[in-house]
């Protein structure tokens, strides 16, 4: 077969070789293993799985290694792989009240059934560089309390809901919904579609938007009803069996944000929900997502849409970092044909302005 080959081909080949070389870094140092990335850069793995929409720690670790630690690049790698996978069906919705929680806090009640469980968190670290890690990071295993995996952990929101103080979750849970990785986004979008979009959305983008709601751009008076992190079972109903079987256990972080709602003439005041969910341990992401989810419900709750975080089309169209990164960086591609067109017109327009100026000068001289 004839394959057209030109100069650019060699340049690309060399560039790929150089990239692989730089990725490896100094050969005097041991190469990173995927297990090391999975275990010691676990939160990077969590983020790549969340925004890559694919729960697979070793694939995410591989993507991070291949991307030289560039997490958006790693997310892109994982998504491009995910999209080629055959689809066997949909799991049953996960039930986070069955979570074996490693961490669980509520900022709306001093104590809650099941208790406040601090778990591993950066929250109370003093941000002092720990130079002992530079030499040797070995630590003895931390003591942990025995876990009771048999007992359900009721959600704080559910308790408020029983009292009528908090709106119930949407009724259509578990029903069919659009899959944003297979169907194009259509607007206005249903909440399940928005939540999918936010779950895949860039953490930095959601953080900034969530933050903006706290500074008056669409304030929704949030309280952390609850944040929980831990393992939940995933069930699947194989067609030939007709009943659910547990196929896996995944770590997730869930944030139930409780927000004020003024009520109206007919509706008594009630708290409303913003919801965030992320793979692994990702509280910043889950909280930001919950703030933006609530902000995007403005229209549904008859609030004025005045701020970027409440603007569904603005948020959903710009949240995806793989799309954004690609389109921003495509400006590196050659654009010299379009630029040539611009050169031609700008030269023409400049010549016309100059001609008019000279004509005016001549006319004035003649007067």
Among 337, 364, 366, 367, binds other proteins (CB under 8 A): 337
**What is the DSSP track for 244-300?**
-EEEEEEEEEEEEEEE-----SSS---BEEEEEEEESS-HHHHHHHHHHHHHHTTTT
Stretch that binds other proteins, among 109-117, 231-239, 289-297, 323-331 (CB under 8 A): 323-331
Stretch that binds other proteins, among 153-161, 201-209, 212-220, 320-328 (CB under 8 A): 320-328
Q: How far is the CB of 200 from other proteins (least distance, A)?
A: 11
- Number of C-beta neighbours around residue 45 at 10 A: 27
Stretch that binds other proteins, among 33-41, 103-111, 135-143, 177-185 (CB under 8 A): 177-185
- Contact track, other proteins, 300-319, x by CB under 8 A: -------------x---x--
Contact, 35 vs 8, CB < 8 A?
A: no
Among 349, 351, 361, 362, binds other proteins (CB under 8 A): 349
Residue 310 DSSP code: G
Q: Does 322 bind other proteins (CB under 8 A)?
A: yes
Q: Does 136 bind other proteins (CB under 8 A)?
A: no
Distance CA 244, CA 236 (A): 5
Number of residues that bind other proteins (CB under 8 A): 56
Distance CA 317, CA 187 (A): 10
Dihedral angle computed from the Cα positions of residues 192, 285, 278 and 251, in that order, rounded to the nearest 10 degrees: -160
- Contact track, other proteins, 53-72, x by CB under 8 A: -------------x------
Strand order in the sheet with 100-105: 100-105, 222-236, 245-259, 272-279
Q: Does 183 bind other proteins (CB under 8 A)?
A: yes
Distance CA 310, CA 313 (A): 9
Among 338, 363, 364, 365, binds other proteins (CB under 8 A): 338
| H/E element, 208 | helix 203-214
Among 328, 351, 361, 362, binds other proteins (CB under 8 A): 328
Nearer to other proteins among residue 79 and residue 155 (C-beta): 79
Instruction: Count H helices and E strands in the chain, helices first.
Output: 13, 4
Nearer to other proteins among residue 39 and residue 341 (C-beta): 341
Q: How far is the CB of 85 from other proteins (least distance, A)?
A: 9
Q: Is 84 helix (H, G, I), strand (E, B) or coil?
A: coil
Contact, 37 vs 74, CB < 8 A?
A: no
Cα angle 57-127-103, degrees, rounded to a multiple of 5: 45
Distance CA 61, CA 340 (A): 44
Nearer to other proteins among residue 88 and residue 124 (C-beta): 88
Among 248, 345, 351, 361, binds other proteins (CB under 8 A): 345
Nearer to other proteins among residue 2 and residue 131 (C-beta): 2
- Contact residues for other proteins, defined by CB under 8 A: 1-9, 11-13, 16-17, 20, 66, 76, 79-80, 82-84, 86, 181-188, 313, 317, 322-323, 325-330, 333-338, 340-345, 348-349, 352
């Amino acid at each position: 077969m004839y394959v057209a080959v030109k100069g650019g081909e060699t340049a690309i080949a060399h560039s790929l070789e150089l990239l692989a070389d730089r990725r490896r870094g100094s050969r005097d140092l041991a190469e990173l293993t995927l297990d090391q990335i999975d275990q010691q850069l676990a939160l990077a793995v969590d983020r790549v799985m969340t925004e890559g929409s694919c729960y697979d720690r070793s694939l995410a670790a591989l993507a991070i290694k291949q991307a030289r630690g560039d997490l958006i690049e790693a997310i892109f790698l994982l998504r491009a792989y995910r999209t080629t996978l055959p689809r066997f069906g949909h799991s049953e919705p996960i039930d986070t009240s069955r979570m074996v929680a490693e961490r669980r806090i509520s900022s709306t009640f001093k104590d809650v059934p099941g208790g406040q469980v601090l778990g591993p968190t950066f929250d109370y670290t003093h941000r002092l560089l720990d130079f002992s890690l530079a030499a040797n990071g070995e630590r003895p295993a931390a003591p942990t309390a025995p876990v009771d995996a048999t007992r359900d952990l009721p959600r704080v929101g559910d308790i408020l809901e029983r009292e009528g103080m908090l709106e119930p979750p949407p009724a259509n849970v578990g029903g069919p919904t659009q899959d944003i990785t297979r169907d194009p986004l259509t607007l206005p979008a249903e909440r399940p579609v928005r939540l999918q979009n936010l779950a895949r959305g860039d953490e930095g983008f959601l953080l900034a938007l969530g933050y903006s709601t706290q500074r008056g751009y669409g304030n929704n008076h949030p309280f952390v009803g609850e944040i929980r992190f831990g393992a939940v079972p995933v069930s699947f109903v194989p067609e030939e069996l007709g009943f659910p079987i547990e196929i896996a256990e995944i770590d997730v972080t869930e944030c139930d944000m409780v927000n004020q709602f003024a009520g109206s003439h007919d509706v008594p005041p009630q708290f409303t929900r913003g919801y965030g969910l992320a793979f692994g341990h990702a509280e910043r992401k889950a909280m930001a997502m919950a703030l933006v989810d609530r902000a995007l419900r403005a229209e549904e709750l008859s609030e004025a849409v005045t701020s970027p975080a409440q603007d569904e089309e603005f948020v959903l169209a710009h949240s995806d970092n793989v799309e954004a990164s690609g389109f921003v960086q495509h400006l590196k591609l050659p654009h010299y044909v379009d630029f040539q067109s611009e050169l031609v017109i700008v030269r023409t327009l400049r010549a016309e302005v100059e001609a008019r100026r000279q004509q005016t000068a001549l006319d004035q001289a003649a007067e």
